[in-house]
Structure 1
Amino acid sequence: MIPLNNKQHANLKVQKSNDVSRFKDQNVIPVTVQDFIPLSTEFPIVFVKNAETGQFISVALMGLRAGVNLYCQETKWSCPVAPNSFNNAPFSLVKSSTDSDEIIVCIDEESQFISTDNGEALFDEQGQQTEFLKQKSQALLKVAESTEQTQDIVNLFAQKKLLISKQLNVKLENEQEPFLLSGIYLIDEKALNSLSAKEFEELRTKGLLPLIYAHLASLHQITRLTIKQNEFEAK
């Protein structure tokens, strides 16, 4: 990813594509709180810990085995719902420096979605942003704001000690022993119910209870994921 520049990238074009196979090796996909309720009907929404920062991250589980996204092995997305971040490529937003709040648009120069022949132009002949790039930048900004909001909320869950490490046993047909799904964290219902009335009311007034319940309800999708994993491995 390098900063987008109207001189260096004057002739670049971006092809509109729904190819999701670029995620085929990622069995967990980061999601924002805006994703929780719609995605909970299809995927388990869980939390994982960043090994470098120690921060918890909310993710959609799209495969039981590391390195295999069961939903992105083909180019076409087959589900009625998708994470908002799927629409970002080949762009991203980054801070200009660790001490600054200024953000800049970056582009992946090796992305399969860019060329100099076909697609939507990024800059006009005067070097000004095209309407396409303006709309993309606005969409990226919304995702960045959602990501920051999500991190604040997940940090709050962690501060209130609501996240608990869980190991889940699932039955895979080509495994003699139950498959151990580890490295995930869930909202601890016991800890949630043990909150003081004041703390519980804080979660309610912040509008966080629907997110918690969507996360807990989404765990029923592990059965769906297990079936899909068995079908994938039976091919």
Structure 2
Amino acid sequence: MANIVPLNSTAHLNSLVKESKDYSRFKNQSLIPVVAQEFATLANEFPIVFVKNSESGQFTPIAMMGIKTDENLYCQTETWTSSVTPLAFSKAPLSLMKTSEESEELMVFVDEDSELLNTTKGNRLFDDAGEQSEYLKQRSNALLDLAGFTQQTSAITKYLAELKLLTPKQLTVKLSKNSEDVNINGIYIVDEKALNELKDEDFIAIKNKGLLPLIYAHLTSLHQIARLITKQRSLELTAS
């Protein structure tokens, strides 16, 4: 549960934000949205695929952190074991949102129910005079950067979709000899055949836009599905 409210220096003058690598709040969320700027880093640990919004048709890249949709294999405990961390994990308890649906103005909001927000331990958001602390300025700038990255990523995925490079892919996983197959549906990947058959001008345009490294990072990351299978088998053996 969350209680998202606008951040202000009166109500949150004495609020502190505790830094933590406990990401167990994501334990039931196996698909984590990512941005293009982190593809190369995350591809060394997680499969990066795309999902499609059924209403808008917009594609979003995500890091797969589980075989089952309601189980994040990396967040079952309070200890984060991976050497890489998605940017989305570092936002809480702060977020950047529009002041209204009609406005393009953004402001910082805070989740008052977050365990990271308290009045005894952590980094102050405001000084005694009610001015933003250096910590809050840094966090606000990071949120702005992430918002910009997200916007750029949306444009990139829209471009890939317009070139008809994103194709649906069903993954069938067998966790053990005696277990039933697990089918993972609703994901999309870049179609290598379609990529290789692009018109020269389209391929050159992708190259000039700097998108080839992103595409190759995505394709390479698909090999990490084997890592997820290993982690799922380990989890089930531990539970049995």
Task: Give TM-score, length-normalised by structure 1.
Answer: 0.96
* d(CA) in 1 for partners of 2:178, 2:159: 38
Matched, 1:83 2:120: no
- How much has 1:79 moved relative to structure 2? 0.9
* d(CA) in 1 for partners of 2:131, 2:177: 56
- How much has 1:93 moved relative to structure 2? 0.6
| Partner of residue 132 from structure 1, selected from 131, 135, 138 | 135
Per the alignment, residue 226 of structure 1 pairs with: 229
Equivalent position amino acid for 1:234 in 2: L
Equivalent position amino acid for 1:60 in 2: A
Q: Could you say if the C-alpha distance between residues 110 and 51 of structure 1 is closer, same or farther in structure 2, counting changes exceeding 3 Å? A: farther
* d(CA) in 1 for partners of 2:29, 2:37: 21
Matched, 1:70 2:73: yes
Task: Give TM-score, length-normalised by structure 2.
Answer: 0.94
- Give the total of aligned pairs: 235
Q: Deviations over 1:101-145 (max 9, x none)?
A: 211101111101011222211111211111111111011111111
Residue identity (%):
51
| Partner of residue 18 from structure 2, selected from 11, 15, 18 | 15
Per the alignment, residue 117 of structure 2 pairs with: 114
Equivalent position amino acid for 2:186 in 1: G
- Unmatched runs of 5 consecutive residues or more in structure 2: none
Equivalent position amino acid for 1:35 in 2: E
| Partner of residue 164 from structure 1, selected from 161, 164, 167 | 167
- How much has 1:176 moved relative to structure 2? 3.2
Per the alignment, residue 212 of structure 1 pairs with: 215
Per the alignment, residue 26 of structure 1 pairs with: 29
Equivalent position amino acid for 1:84 in 2: L
Taking only aligned residues, the RMSD between alpha carbons, in angstroms, comes to: 1.3
- How much has 1:194 moved relative to structure 2? 1.7
- Unmatched runs of 5 consecutive residues or more in structure 1: none
Per the alignment, residue 193 of structure 2 pairs with: 190
* d(CA) in 2 for partners of 1:117, 1:50: 41
Matched, 1:102 2:105: yes
Per the alignment, residue 146 of structure 1 pairs with: 149
Q: Deviations over 1:138-187 (max 9, x none)?
A: 11111111111111101111111111111011111276332111110000
